[in-house]
């Protein structure tokens, strides 16, 4: 069905362009490319709003695994590169690899924690193998992802997200304390406090569309204070271009038992991808075939994760980081986020940028990470609002899942006496929250069916 185009066409940005009156197919705002003078600044805004996530992730991995400066920069290059490629895929949806919606892609928060857990227990090469296995499972299950995700009740997903946030905040706190993990110096605590305080103030005073930038701006202010107090050691070097390193931890080791926590998480992430895709479509007001689009989203995630693993990266996931900007600005074009992905690809290879990022003091990064990851906890808590927690089933499932998930985080030595394979599974708070939550929900469901009328 065609519409008659008016003599003047109005773009989403409000600009008018003369046009003859000819039949034309209506173009949804998602599929419309804005003029360059609005496309570029909007893409930069999306970039600034999301870049703190991959930076925090790389610092977390580098500090936990005690990586050299050279390997850290190569990993940052790889992470930004994969974020860029994944964002382009999800935005453009070529060959059904991506949702064709304004998405950005980031390393998965819980996936990073599980990667580090596997790396510490079985070595980084095994963790890389786990990422590859998980990506392969995602590719295989993508056609039926919607049905698989239904096995994870919303109350379990909400519990998992809370556990993920608590785990990540704990890990981020370790960056403030320092590598020795004994007692944080007063200057480190002070820098962390300044960084968080600056972020909060900026979120209050900045105009609404730019409040997402406050996290990165807070990090900049914390770094400037570090420089003023003599705690910034900047080393840019003479290198101009950098490249990622293929298998920086050695050839991947495929250990299915060690990979179980990440494999279980991948099922939950399919449910998360389903929710993110539906939410994004609602925000941009575009009707989608949920099953087909979610499958494309998961295929894009899986392929990007597979490529990231080659360069030592973690599981990559589509993110709702940019949804707030889309809501605030009303610009729904997927070409905006596609250009954001292209900018990420370019930035990834510029060595001075990575060198500057690598010089940011750990307490500043730790404070920024803790603040960002605390948002994950709040997101999980908000999910509970849409669930009937007065129902015994949901209440008990949430309590059981949170108990199983939080115990190994708050008491790290709880399963220390268990064999390595069992300890790897039991010590994963995210995995335990998922497994226990699904089992308890299944018990309630079976009991409900057997109850006489």
Let me know the angle formed at the C-alpha of 97 by 95 and 101, rounded to the nearest 5 degrees: 110
Cα gap 115→118, rounded to integer Å: 5
Q: Which of 9-18, 189-198, 275-284, 430-439 has the lowest mean pLDDT?
A: 9-18
Q: Which of 68-77, 135-144, 387-396, 444-453 has the lowest mean pLDDT?
A: 444-453
Which residue's structure tokens are 């939410």? 279
pLDDT at 258: 86
Supply the mean pLDDT for the chain.
82
CA distance readout (Å), 172 to 74, 113, 121: 21, 11, 19
Cβ burial of 13 (10 Å; 0-12, 13-18, 19+) is middle
Q: Which is higher by pLDDT, 237 or 113?
A: 113
pLDDT at 209: 63
Cα gap 243→74, rounded to integer Å: 6
Which residue's structure tokens are 């296995």? 133
Contacts of 433 (CB under 8 A, 6+ apart): 156, 159, 160, 163, 401, 402, 404, 405
pLDDT at 245: 93
Let me know the angle formed at the C-alpha of 118 by 112 and 123, rounded to the nearest 5 degrees: 115
> Would the pLDDT of 377 be above 80?
yes
Cα gap 237→196, rounded to integer Å: 30
CA distance readout (Å), 57 to 5, 82, 108, 115: 48, 13, 9, 11
Highest mean pLDDT among 233-242, 296-305, 324-333: 296-305
pLDDT at 3: 38
Cα gap 397→451, rounded to integer Å: 19
Phi–psi pair at 359, nearest 5 degrees: -85, -10
pLDDT at 121: 84
Q: pLDDT over 70 for what percent of the chain? A: 86
Q: Which is higher by pLDDT, 319 or 324?
A: 319
pLDDT at 419: 83
CA distance readout (Å), 383 to 31, 124, 271: 30, 34, 13
Nearest CA to 246 among 314, 311, 313?
311
Under 8 Å between Cβ of 196 and 367: yes
Q: Within 10 A of 285 (CB to CB), how many other CB atoms are there?
A: 10
> Would the pLDDT of 273 be above 60?
yes
Our CA dihedral for 66, 69, 74, 77, rounded to 10 degrees, sits at 100
Phi–psi pair at 296, nearest 5 degrees: -65, -40
């Amino acid at each position: 069905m065609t519409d008659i185009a008016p003599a003047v066409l109005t773009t989403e940005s409000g600009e008018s362009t003369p046009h003859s009156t000819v039949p034309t197919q209506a173009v949804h705002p998602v599929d419309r490319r804005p003029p360059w003078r609005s496309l570029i600044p909007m893409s930069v805004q999306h970039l600034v709003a999301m870049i703190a996530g991959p930076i925090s992730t790389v610092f977390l991995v580098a500090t936990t695994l005690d990586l050299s400066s050279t390997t850290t920069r190569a990993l940052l290059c790889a992470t930004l590169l994969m974020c860029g490629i994944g964002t382009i895929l999800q935005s453009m949806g070529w060959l059904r690899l991506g949702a064709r919606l304004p998405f950005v892609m980031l390393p998965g928060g819980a996936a990073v924690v599980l990667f580090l857990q596997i790396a510490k227990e079985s070595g980084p090469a095994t963790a890389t193998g786990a990422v590859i296995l998980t990506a392969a499972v995602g590719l295989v299950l993508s056609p039926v992802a919607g049905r698989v995700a239904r096995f994870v009740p919303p109350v379990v997903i909400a519990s998992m997200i809370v556990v993920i946030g608590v785990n990540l905040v704990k890990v981020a706190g370790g960056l403030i304390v320092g590598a020795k993990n004994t007692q944080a110096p007063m200057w480190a605590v002070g820098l962390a406090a300044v960084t968080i305080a600056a972020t909060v103030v900026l979120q209050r005073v900045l105009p609404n569309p730019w409040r997402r930038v406050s996290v990165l701006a807070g990090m900049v202010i914390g770094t400037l204070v570090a420089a003023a107090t003599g705690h910034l050691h900047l080393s840019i070097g003479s290198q101009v271009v950098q490249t990622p390193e293929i298998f920086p931890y050695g050839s991947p080791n495929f250990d299915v038992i060690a990979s179980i926590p990440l494999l279980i998480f991948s099922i939950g992430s399919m449910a998360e991808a389903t929710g993110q895709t539906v939410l994004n479509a609602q925000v941009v007001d575009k009707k989608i075939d949920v099953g087909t689009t979610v499958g494309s989203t998961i295929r894009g995630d899986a392929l990007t994760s597979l490529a990231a693993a080659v360069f030592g990266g973690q599981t990559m996931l589509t993110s709702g980081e940019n949804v707030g900007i889309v809501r605030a600005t009303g610009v729904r074009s997927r070409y905006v986020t596609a250009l954001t992905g292209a900018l990420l690809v370019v930035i990834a290879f510029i060595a001075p940028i990575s060198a500057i990022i690598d010089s940011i003091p750990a307490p500043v990064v730790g404070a920024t990470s803790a603040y960002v990851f605390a948002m994950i906890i709040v997101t999980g808590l908000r999910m509970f609002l849409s669930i009937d927690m007065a129902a015994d089933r949901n209440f008990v499932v949430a309590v059981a899942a949170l108990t199983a998930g939080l115990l190994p985080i708050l008491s790290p030595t709880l399963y220390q006496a268990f064999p390595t394979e069992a300890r790897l599974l039991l010590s994963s708070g995210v995995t335990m929250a998922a497994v226990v939550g699904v089992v308890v929900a299944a018990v309630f469901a079976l009991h409900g069916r057997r109850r006489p009328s």
